[in-house]
Chain A
Amino acid sequence: MYDYSEFDAAFVAERNRQFRQQVERRISGALTEDEFKPLRLMNGLYLQLHAYMLRVAIPYGTLDSAKMRQLAYIAERWDKGYGHFTTRQNIQYNWPKLRDVPDMLEALAKVGMHAIQTSGNTIRNVTADHFAGAAADEIADPRPVAELIRQWSTDHPEFQFLPRKFKIAVTGSPNDRSVIKAHDIGLQIVERDGQHGYRVIVGGGLGRTPMIGKVLAEFIAQDDLLPYLESVVSVWNQIGRRDNKYKSRIKITVHEHGIDDIRQRVDARFALVRPSFGGIDLALFDQIKAAFAPPAFRTDSTDAYQAAYNADPVFRSWCDTNLAAHRAPGYAIVQISLKAQGATPGDATGDQMRVLADLAEFYGHDELRISHEQNVILPHVHTSDLPAVHGILKKHGLATANIGLISDIIACPGMDYCALATARSIPIAQQIATRFDDLKLEHEIGDLKIKISGCINACGHHHVGHIGILGLDRAGVENYQITLGGDHTQDAALGQRTGPGFSADEIIPAVERIVYTYLEHRHDASEPFLHTFRRIGMAPFKAALYDKVNAYAAQ
């Protein structure tokens, strides 16, 4: 875990002191709302539908037990006893009172956390693979470079008034778990001649105009990385459109100018910027890397795990569904589902957060990760400890064995909380999960990602869901459009719209018809939904959705 220096702590303390005064001046009437709004947004404070919302950054999704316990404390002390983990590896508190927010920020600062640049037209929280440092397929841990970028981008004087927000994601594995092709910049650590460098993807994004990112550079060496990133953001800062906020993201700039033109501009800028980076960034990077050294992995026997696996079918099912391959022998990556069927995706109570913190401390080398899929990860657990971990998770409603299955749904807060939403997301997710749990079908269906957004801004990543659902307001009624065939991985693809949308009452049966169509057409259980969709195309699904005769026959 990276520890912040006194300089960092002083910077955050000063920002919190300023914000406390800004809140006081707003309450006293010395600041108008127009004056206050940009100040509160700079500190992660939104005004939503029913209350304020505080968005706290969890850099590259990494927490230790002390941080997680503090998040639990904040949830209970100043909110309603829970927090909501988001698709950008942040945590959101849905009910803070304006007067309490400075105290909340101070409590965060005690564990080296803050809400700076979680909003506004700045470089946002840098996200990373939630298996970072643990994945069997990893070339290098992406977190050191994510931290380097975070330090470079935080309070960067040139980048505080960008045309729009700017999001960076990093993966250290060829198998992309960070959705790097749907970010303003996606970085992939690659190896060339024994050296690590970065493949730079630019101009991806979801939202109103979804785009898959394009390769800007195949290999940027470590010593060139920060000047290169600075050049990209700088070019966009100059030519990105400020006349129309729907056209201001870098994806539109890349689309309008073409990737080759952008590359030329970046290269020209890079020639100017590069000499100003004298190597301090490399020295800092080495320091950061040391802080992310892997823990001392144990080499104990795995017999206890094998025995439990053979004896207990519930444990076995959980292992088969929720574990991922670890790079160290005898270890596993544990994915803890925050998607119990019928629960709100991504929510954890203060009690659950403390249980997760305890598990990390006692069984997991004190490490936790938040995934963009709104689950919690214990990245390093020795398999001999898994029976104990599973037993504790079960007691706290955290042992749902559904990672990657139909009930492991990404859902944005939607119109239950969000002021921008055009329809609700959460109840749709709850109903789909409950319905397929009732049918006892989800393990039979296998790998199927449903992603739901409550508006066109696509926080729920619906474009890259195998089944994407977009909630809209059609003439004063909630209406849900479906896309199929989206892919959030290294083979990123945007889903295709099936046709007209469905009402809130119709959407669950519609999803059911899609699933039955898949089950009917797949070669066998080893062919996942996405492969079947790619093989048979949209037509059978359309028929099942819109042709009533076929629809009933399918059931």
Chain B
Amino acid sequence: MPRDFTPKVVTANALLEGDVVYQTSDDRWTRHLSRAEVITDEADAKLRLLMAEGQPDHVVGVYLADVTPGPDGPEPTHFREEFRRTGPSNYAHGKKAESANV
């Protein structure tokens, strides 16, 4: 039996803007966690991570972050990832400013 695997997304920062980005299932990068590809298999996760690491001209600091399924797509399991998803709490900058325009 394969051991339990916490679902993951591939995340990074965009090279030019530094924004938090997530890998989508069609090999693009999105600013929205809800549109990220949720990986449920460990071997798959490694492959997807390798794929992302091969794009240093687009992203920096690629890693796998734990998520849990929610009604509107994946949700972070840790507060650090929650802050990365939503932006700083003291100003409506970054993701908060963008969400008003989506």
Contacts and interface: CB of A to CB of B under 8 A. Distances in A.
Interface of A: 26-29, 32-33, 47-52, 80, 94-99, 344, 415-417, 424, 426-427, 430, 473, 476-478
Contacts of B88: 50, 94, 416-417, 426
B90 A415 contact: no
9 A-B pairs with least C-beta separation: A416-B88, A51-B18, A52-B18, A29-B57, A50-B94, A344-B90, A426-B90, A98-B16, A33-B60
A452 to B, nearest CB: 13
A416 to B, nearest CB: 4
B81 to A, nearest CB: 10
B23 interface: no
Interface in B82-102: 83-84, 87-91, 93-95
Given A27-B15, A478-B79, A51 B94 contact: yes
Interface residues of B, number: 25
B31 to A, nearest CB: 11
Contact of A27 (B16, B83, B95): B16
Interface of B: 13, 15-20, 56-57, 60-61, 77-80, 83-84, 87-91, 93-95
A399 B77 CA distance: 42
Contacts of A415: 79-80, 83
A416 B90 CA distance: 8
Contacts of A32: 56
Contacts, number: 76
Contacts of A426: 88-90
Nearest to B15: A98
A477 B80 CA distance: 10
A474 to B, nearest CB: 11
Nearest to A26: B15
Nearest to A31: B56
A99 B14 CA distance: 12
A482 B72 CA distance: 38
A27 B17 CA distance: 11
Given A49-B80, A416-B90, A430-B90, 4 more contacts: A29-B56, A50-B19, A50-B20, A417-B88
Contact of A97 (B18, B84, B89): B18
B18 A48 contact: yes
Given A50-B18, A476-B79, A95 B60 contact: no
Nearest to A32: B56
A97 B14 CA distance: 10
Contacts of B56: 29, 32-33
Given A27-B16, A416-B88, A49 B83 contact: yes
Contacts of A50: 18-20, 84, 87-88, 93-95
Contacts of B18: 47-48, 50-52, 95-98
A427 B84 contact: no
B83 to A, nearest CB: 6
Contacts of A473: 79-80
B89 A51 contact: no
B29 to A, nearest CB: 15
Contacts of B84: 49-50
5 contacts: A27-B57, A47-B60, A52-B18, A417-B88, A478-B79
B79 A99 contact: no
Contacts of B91: 80, 344
A381 B94 CA distance: 39
Contact of A80 (B17, B61, B93): B93
A424 B80 CA distance: 9
Contacts of A28: 57
Contacts of A96: 18
Nearest to B83: A415
Most chain B beta carbons < 10 A, residue from A27, A48, A51, A94: A51
Contact of B61 (A47, A424, A476, A478): A47
Nearest to B58: A29
B97 to A, nearest CB: 9
Contacts of B60: 33, 47
B78 A416 contact: no
Contacts of A95: 18, 93-94
Contact of B19 (A33, A51, A477): A51
Contacts of A51: 13, 17-19, 94
Nearest to A28: B57
A31 to B, nearest CB: 9
Nearest to B85: A50
A341 to B, nearest CB: 14
Most chain A beta carbons < 10 A, residue from B15, B17, B87, B90: B90
A47 B13 contact: yes
A48 B94 CA distance: 12
Nearest to A343: B90
A28 to B, nearest CB: 8
Contacts of B15: 26-27, 98
